[in-house]
Amino acid sequence: MKQDTDNTMRSQDKMVSNLDTIPAIPGTMPQLGNGADETLAQLAPLAQSLPSATPPSDLFAAIERELDAEPKAATQVQRADEGEWTKRSDLIWKKILTRDPQSGRCMYLLRCLPGARIKPHIHDRSEHLFIIEGEFWMNGKLFTAGDAQCSMPGTEHHEITMPNGCLVLISA
């Protein structure tokens, strides 16, 4: 029985010494607290049952390459000079910036020339907008550059008018 206790102690010592050799990044190492000795004693048999293993020599280089790699498809980027403006009406143009294929939501710019009008409509989902330049009238209220607005699903808009034109960023 003494041999089991010695092995347990050696395993605990090995686990604690390994813990001390891990380079700590501030704020990322958990505090072991008062139950550390008991936890280590419980984990020691598991540590003894594991075969010794040497990590591949290029393991850390592979991890660094993955961390430094360009983001994959989860991030969409469109530069200012990319994309196309499509004509929605004689006085309204739209440029899609991003689109989420799963939800169908997109972010786009709407360029409305002076005199443009958008017909009354009801939103089937939320829509967020930010006026970059110019102004428009919606439901009897004047919105100007720097204003933001959110329409929840079911919101009804009467005719929207842009007597002087505007550029609006919309997420819908």
- pLDDT of 10-40, one tens digit each? 444 444 445 555 454 544 445 555 566 677 7
For the four alpha carbons of 86, 84, 109 and 72, in that order, the dihedral sign comes to positive
**Residues 15, 43: contact at Cβ < 8 Å?**
yes
Task: Give 50 or 70, the one with higher predicted confidence.
Answer: 50
- In the prediction, which pLDDT does 34 show? 55
As a whole number, the mean pLDDT across the chain is: 81
Residue 131 has pLDDT above 50, yes or no: yes
Per-residue pLDDT, 150? 95
Please report, rounded to a whole number, the percentage of residues in the chain having pLDDT higher than 70.
76
> E strand or H helix at 49, and its extent?
helix 36-49
Angstrom distance (rounded) from CA 43 to CA 11: 9
Q: What percent of the chain has pLDDT over 90?
A: 48
Q: Which residue has the higher pLDDT, 141 or 28?
A: 141
Q: What is the pLDDT of residues 82-119, one digit of tens each?
A: 999 999 999 999 999 999 888 889 999 999 999 999 99
Angstrom distances, CA of residue 116 to CA of 59, 84, 168: 60, 20, 13
